[in-house]
Structure 1
Amino acid sequence: LRVLLQFANLEIPEPKELKILIQGFGAVGAHAAHQLRERIPDAKVIGVSDLEGYLFNESGLPIDELFELWKGKQVVTNNYFKEKIITEGYRHPSKFSTNRNNLLLENAFCLIPAAPVFNYLGVRSAESPSMTVDRMGKWSLIVEGANTYSPDPNRKAARTRMEQIVYREKGVMITNDYLVNSGGVIFAAQEHIIKSPEHLQIPEDLLGNREGVEQWLKDHSKEFSSISKQRLKAGDKYREEVIRRNMIEHVNLLTSNPDMLPSTAAESISLQRLTAKENERTAKEIMIPIPTIDIESSIQQSAELMIEENSGIVAVLSQNKLVGVVTDWDITKATAEGLSNINLEQIMTKNVIIASPDFSVLDIVRELEQYRISAMPVVKQGKVLGMVNSDLITQRYILEYLKNH
C-alpha cells in the first residue's frame, strides 16, 4: 500500500501497541474480540459499543470478561457500567457513554464496524450516518464485520463519497465485509464439499417418525462427530487461505489502479470469483430436464409432448437408450411435406451431438458453436440425463453479468 501517496507514511504497530475499536459488540463483534485475544494476545481492544452505549479504556478493555457477559446478557456496555464502573466512578480506568456512536470519535489503528448499520461513516449528516467523516477518529484500517453492501444506487453513491474521503484523502484502508467475513459461508459449504456418506442418510422409512429419527441420530452420533471434525478442519484451512488470498488480490488491485476505490475492487474480485466458480461447473450441475418419447410414437404425439413440456426438442428412445432427437423444426418440415402419419424414426436426427455429464461450460459453448446447434442432450452410456442449451447459458451467465454491470 505504501506505493500509494495516501499510504506513504503507513506504519504497522507492534502487537502490544495494536489498538482496536469494535462498533457493535454482538454476534460478530464479540467473537471478533475473542478471536483477537487468541490470535494476537498482546493487542488491545480499547473500545466497544452496543445498543446501550460504548465502553472505552485506552489501556485495553477486559475482553474475556465482556465476552462472558455478552454470552449471558447479550448487551454488555450498560451492564458492565452498572456492575463494575458505577461503584468506583472516575477512578475506574474504563469509561462509559450512552451515546454509542461517539465510539467512532476515538483513535485506534483499526476500526471493526460489526453493527447492522449500512452507513457507519458518511459525508452528509442528512444521511444519518453513525459518524460523519469530518468528525471520525484517526485510524489506519477498517475491517468490516457487518454487511455494508447495497445495490441501491443512492446507497452506492453515498458509499463512493465516503470512500473518496476516508480511503483516498485520509489514507484509511477499507476491507469489505464479503472479502474478510466469509467464514460462515465457508464452513456451511463444507457440508456440500465433504458429503455425508449414504449410510448416514436418514432412512426413508423413518421420515416423519420423530422418535425414530432421534434414536437413529443417537445411534450414529460417533460417525456424525467424526465427519463434523473433518469439516471443521477443512473449513479452518480453507478460511485462512481464502481470506488471505482475497486481501492480497484486493491490495494488488488498489495499488495497480490508483483511481480505484476499495468497494469497486472488492466487487471486481467477487465477480471474478463467481465467474470462475461457474466456469468450473459441469453439464450435470446446470442441465435441465428434456422430454423423452419412444421411437414408435407418432409425429402428433411428439408435437403434443413439445407443447405440454414447452420444449423445442425431444429425445427419442429405444429400450431406454438415446437413438435420436426430434426438434420443432423437424415436425414443422414433415407436416409441410405431408408426412404427418409416419413415425419418428423417419424424421429424427440419428447422429446426435451429445454432451457428457462432465463437460464444462466452455466445452458446452464450443460444441454448440462448432455444430451450430442450440441444444443437446446430456448422455451417459446411452442414458439421457437432461439437456443443455444456448438459452440456459445466456440466462445463467450473460444476463447475470449484465445485472451486475
Structure 2
Amino acid sequence: MMVFSWLGRDGIYPLALAARILFIVFGEWQDKSLSIPYTDVDYEVISDAAQLVVDGSSPYDRATFRYSPLLAYLLVPNVLLHRCWGKLLFSAADLVVGKCLQSILTRNGLPPGRSLQYASLWLLNPLSINVSTRGSFDALTSALVLGTTSALLQGSLGWAAVAFGLVVHLRVYPIIYAPAFALYLARSSLAGWYGGADPTGVVKSSAVWINLVSRRPLLFALLSASTFLACTSACAWAYGLDFVRHALLYHLTRTDNRHNYSIYWYWIYLDYGAPHRWLLGLAAFIPQAMMLMVSAALLHGDLALCVFVQTALFVIFNKVFTGQYFTWFLCLVPLLAPRLALGTKMTFVLLGSWVCTLLWWLFAAWNVEMQGRNMYLALWVGSVSMFATNVVVLNACLHALVRVV
C-alpha cells in the first residue's frame, strides 16, 4: 500500500483522525449552507433526547428515540459543550475498531506492520469515515463487538463478558453471537488452547456441546448477563415501560417500508397498515435463527470468521437493512482479507456486480421516495437483486477462504 509506505506505522491513526475531523467540519458547513443535510437524522434524534435529559425530562419524549437512554447520556456534552461531541466520540470508536482489528490480526500471526495495513482498510475507508462523522453510533457497536472478540482470543474472559453485556444492552442484535462465543469457550477450555485454532482436530463436536456447562462458558454467560441486566434494570427503573417498549420490544417487531434494502421490503410495504404486520417482524427471525445456529456450530473454532459470517447472514436476511448496516460486517472484512484468494478478476466481477445492484436500488428508491413515481416493480427487483448479490459474494468469499485455510 503506497499510502501506508509513505505514512509509516505511526502515521495511519493521525491521518484517520484528521480525515474524520475534516469530514465533521465539512458536515457542519453543509448542514448550514445546503438544502441536503450531512448529519444523520438519528444523530438529531439522540441529540434531542440528550437535551431532554438535561432538562430533566424523559428521552422517550422525543418521537422515534428507540435506543437505550445511555446513548442520550453519552451525548449530553452535545448540549453542554458542542453539537459535534457525539461525532467526535463515534469517530474515536472508529479508531478503537482499527486497534482491535490490528490486535486480532497480529494474534493470528501477521507481523504488526501487515496487521496495520489491513486495519487501514477500515481506518481509511470513506464509508466508515462518512457513517461515523454523520453521527451514527454504529462504530460504537462495532468497537464493542470487536473488543469482545479480541478479548476472547486473548483469554480475557472478564473484559469480554462485560463488553458483550454492554453492547447487547446498547444494540440488541449482537445477542446473535452468544452461541458462537459459548461454543468457542467450551472448545478452548476443553482442548487447553486459548485464542488459537484446532489444527489437529482432536476436539470432537459432541465433546464441545457437552462442555458448554463447564466453568468458562458458564462464567462468561453469568458475567455478560449480569452486565446486561444491570444496565437494563437501571434504565427500566428510571424510565419504566417507555424504555421497555421503545428500546427493546420495538426492535422485535420493527418493519420499515422506506429506505430498506431488505428482500422483505415489498411485503412490508404492502402490509404496512395491516394489524398483523408485527407477525412478519417475528417470522423473519426464523430463517435467521436457523442459519446463525448452524454457522455457530460449524465455525466457532475460527472465531473471527464465525463473527463475520454471522454478521453478514444476519444483515442480508434481516427484515430491515439500511446503508448503515453495511458497516456491521465491513468492519470485519480486514480480518479475512489476508486469507482471501479470489483473484483480481473475480474481485472486480463481484465488486462490480454489487455496485451495479446498489446503484439500481438507489435509482429506483430515489424515484419512489423522492419523486413519487410508480417504480415499485423496479425497486422490488432491486431488493431481490441486492439479496442475491450479497449471498453470491458471501458464498464466493467462503469458497476462497476454503482454498487457503
Identify the TM-score tier after normalising by the shorter chain.
under 0.3
**Higher fraction of strand:** 1
**TM-score, reference length from structure 1:** 0.23
**Higher fraction of helix:** 2
Larger radius of gyration: 1
